Amino acid sequence: MKVALVTRSTLHTVSGGDTVQVLQTARFLRELGVEAEVCLTHEKIEYNSYDIFHYVNITRPADILFHISQTEKPFVVSPVLVDYSEYDKKHRKGISGFVLRSCSPAGQEYIKSIARWLAGKDKMRSKEYLWKGHRKSIKKVLERTALLLPNSAAEYQRLMEDYGTENEYMVVPNGIDGSLFSPGNKEEKDDTIVLCAARIEGIKNQLNLIKALNNSKYTLILIGSPAPNQRSYYRACRKLAAKNILFGDHIPQEKLITYYKKAKVHALPSWFETCGLSSLEAAAMGCNIAISDKGYTREYFGDYAFYCDPGDPESIFNSIEKAAASEPSAILQDKIFKQYTWRQAAAITLKAYQPNHLTYESETSAEQLAVFSEIYYPFGWNAYVDGQLKPHAAADYVLRAMLVPSGKHKIEFKFEPKTYQTGNTIAMAGSVVLFLSIGLSLFFEYKKKNTVN
């Protein structure tokens, strides 16, 4: 199988969370035997060379529209759906803030896309986007996609609410590189060190984080370069920062390990987060997590993080205080290594590329527990024995397992998400109505002829 992961033209020049997601997914797909290639949207793509296309980042629909108009090959979409409208309306400064304040969320993204294009900071392959607009462009992509691969169930829920989509989907969580970020030999952490590893920009909200910790007992270490169009924001952060606030440039992931090992708290009070990849990495390394309550973060961290209101420096400080005074959660660490790794993400992604109906034959002299060499995925998959729905579960958190009765049996796993079942029900109801209509029409026509005769 040969797959093209198609993503934004600035993937390498303006690194972000989606950069890590795309590169790591491709890397681990290759380990699973898939020919996975990363293609940038402005590049020429030989469409016939690939079996399936995987588009990433639906908030840039212009990147996708062009390519789906060039080929009929099937495709899936990782939405990476974010909502920066609160920041754009209430906290963005300057002329852009003034312009975006009066726009809808879709209007804001449309203006930002056009501005990047006109400024020469991004490509615009699809001119259809110019007249269709942001919202209608996303709806067209959703109508065409074979399957959605959101990073969380909450992300799919937002897609349903914002765009009315009822696409089939499989949740593919973000992850960490389990071979790189591992607790290993535990080092003593410093309760007064707070780390924030993120690109410095208004969305990540370092300014309010600085306000929260300025002249406090904590040393705040900000690791990350300023975003290309956020130099004034970076200067404002530097100007406000007291002596206990330290700045460091963007560094490779492997060098972040030293900071993760020493810091007691990782803080990321963003205006919106899908999960916060640096927060996942930090939690895996034994840091406590102080994080925004806006976005999909609770689905990842549950009750094992310390949430804050990004608009309130006091709320940010209080969450850090609680995190610094608490012991790291071994439960969260265990959950990350078993559910949130890029290896797991690639395995689920591969499942999304493959058939959604698996069949096995069994013959045993007694009832026994059968473990299948398929990744356990709880959303949408049902198990059947001789056509009868049966429960199944995870074996060692990873593989599928179920009790198989004695004798010879046919075992099936079917991917039947609720939207699929709803569609089938509606289709069946429609068929019944159609057949009844035809039957009644024939009956009345027959009766009419007999009456005439």
CATH of the domain at 23: 3.40.50.2000
State which of 282, 304, 339 marks the end of a domain. Answer: 339
Task: Collapse the DSSP code of 48 into the 3-class scheme (helix H, G, I; strand E, B; otherwise coil) and give the result.
Answer: helix
Task: Collapse the DSSP code of 67 into the 3-class scheme (helix H, G, I; strand E, B; otherwise coil) and give the result.
Answer: helix
Phi-psi region of 241 (alpha: psi -120 to 50; beta: other; left: phi over 0): beta
Do 332 and 373 fall within a single domain? no
State which of 339, 372, 396 marks the end of a domain. Answer: 339
Do 132 and 215 fall within a single domain? no
- DSSP bridge partners of 35: 2
**Alpha helix (H) residue ranges in 145-275:** 153-163, 206-213, 231-240, 253-262
Do 448 and 385 fall within a single domain? no
Do 220 and 237 fall within a single domain? yes
State which of 291, 312, 339 marks the end of a domain. Answer: 339
* CB atoms closer than 10 angstroms to residue 437: 10
Do 300 and 263 fall within a single domain? yes
pLDDT score recorded for residue 280: 96
Closest CA to 370 of 388, 395, 389: 395
CA–CA distance, 392 with 415 (Å, rounded to integer): 13
At residue 401, what are phi and psi to the nearest 5 degrees? -145, 150
Do 291 and 211 fall within a single domain? yes
Domain annotation covers residue 308: yes
CA–CA distance, 60 with 40 (Å, rounded to integer): 13
CA–CA distance, 415 with 351 (Å, rounded to integer): 10
Domain annotation covers residue 132: yes
Residue-wise DSSP of 142-166 = HHH-SEE--SSHHHHHHHHHHH---
pLDDT score recorded for residue 425: 45
Domain annotation covers residue 67: yes
| Structure-token match 């399936």, residue found | 52
Domain annotation covers residue 170: no
Do 397 and 381 fall within a single domain? yes
Closest CA to 125 of 196, 190, 41: 41
Note the pLDDT tens digit of each residue in 163-215: 998 888 999 999 999 989 877 656 789 999 999 999 999 999 999 999 999 99
Domain annotation covers residue 49: yes
Do 147 and 203 fall within a single domain? no
Domain annotation covers residue 174: no
Closest CA to 125 of 55, 72, 189, 194: 55
CA–CA distance, 10 with 123 (Å, rounded to integer): 9
Domain annotation covers residue 55: yes
Domain annotation covers residue 168: no
258-262: long-range contacts, CB 8 A cutoff, minimum separation 24? 259/195, 259/197, 259/221, 259/223, 260/181, 260/195, 260/285, 260/286, 260/287, 261/187, 261/189, 261/285, 261/286, 262/187, 262/189, 262/190, 262/193
Do 59 and 149 fall within a single domain? yes
Low-confidence ranges of the chain (pLDDT < 50): 419-438, 440-442, 444-446, 448-449, 451-453
pLDDT score recorded for residue 432: 44
- DSSP bridge partners of 194: 220, 265
CB under 8 Å to 73, separation ≥6 — which residues? 47, 50, 51, 52, 53
Q: Is the dihedral of CA 267, 77, 16, 336 positive or negative?
A: positive
Do 84 and 130 fall within a single domain? yes
Per-residue DSSP letter, 81: -
Do 280 and 311 fall within a single domain? yes
Closest CA to 29 of 80, 82, 79, 76: 76
Do 246 and 102 fall within a single domain? no
What residues make up the domain containing 390? 355-416
Total domains in the chain come to 4
pLDDT score recorded for residue 271: 96
